[in-house]
């Protein structure tokens, strides 16, 4: 799997509000990815002690985003992003709507606020990479450009833009999208972090609710 795919993964993750495109990969593709990493001996393909990939380069933390859609996105993560809990919430006339997502033990669990049934599916975490290693051919194909570094909430972020598959500009720190501006039709979708804490997270955040029935796909 080309390293650019991981860059696109993080961009789309921000655009789709946590809907990780890695969940559509098959076991076969996952195996191919591992084989290619072994063949090339990539120095920057770090993994956790359990052998899983590291979506983020920091072990644990809490992230809070505001968006141009008046939705807040709040994520707690551990094990370098392999364990997560995310709340995507919008409040209209005093009523909250949105979704809650868990990533636990290689599975992704989703359900909508106010419902009692959700979905469960296999989750494959993408590896955090140094995007400057992308080939010149892929840089041109996807319209990737590097815009130096900018600071957001005291974090030195690498600023990257792409033209395909979604025209986007992303500010990334240690694998974490700190800000994303994406073209959705005629409007820009903006998601920007307003709180970041990289301390330990209470394990209770990653416990599935007992009153939700998750149906596996």
> Mean pLDDT across the stretch 130-145?
80
pLDDT tens across 14-42, in order?
A: 444 333 333 333 344 434 433 333 333 33
| pLDDT at residue 187 in the model | 85
Q: What is the CATH number of the domain that holds 195?
A: 2.50.20.10
> Mean pLDDT across the stretch 204-214?
97
> What residues have CB less than 8 Å from 27, skipping those under 6 apart?
none
Average pLDDT, the chain: 80
The token pair at 172 is 């990334």
Q: How far apart are CA 99 and CA 117, in angstroms?
A: 12
> Mean pLDDT across the stretch 193-217?
97
Q: What is the residue range of 12's domain?
A: 3-216
pTM recorded for the entire structure: 0.76
The structural domain count of the chain equals 1
pLDDT tens across 83-99, in order?
A: 999 999 998 887 889 99
């Amino acid at each position: 799997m080309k390293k650019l795919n991981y860059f696109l993964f993080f961009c789309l993750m921000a655009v789709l509000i946590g809907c990780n495109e890695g969940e559509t990969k098959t076991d076969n593709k996952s195996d191919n990815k591992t084989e290619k990493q072994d063949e090339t001996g990539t120095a920057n393909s770090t993994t956790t002690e359990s052998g899983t990939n590291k979506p983020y380069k920091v072990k644990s933390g809490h992230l809070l985003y505001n968006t141009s859609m008046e939705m807040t996105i709040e994520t707690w993560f551990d094990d370098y992003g392999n364990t997560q809990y995310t709340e995507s919430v919008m409040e209209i006339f005093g009523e909250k709507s949105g979704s809650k997502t868990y990533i636990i033990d290689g599975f992704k669990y989703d359900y909508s606020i106010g419902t009692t049934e959700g979905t469960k599916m296999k989750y494959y975490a993408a590896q955090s990479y140094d995007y400057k290693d992308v080939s010149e051919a892929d840089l041109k194909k996807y319209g990737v450009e590097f815009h130096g570094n900018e600071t957001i909430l005291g974090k030195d972020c690498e600023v990257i833009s792409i033209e395909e598959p979604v025209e986007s500009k992303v500010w990334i720190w240690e694998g974490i999208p700190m800000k994303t501006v994406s073209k959705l039709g005629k409007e820009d979708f903006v998601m920007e972090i307003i709180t970041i804490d990289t301390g330990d997270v209470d394990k209770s955040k990653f416990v599935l609710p007992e009153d939700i029935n998750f149906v596996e796909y």
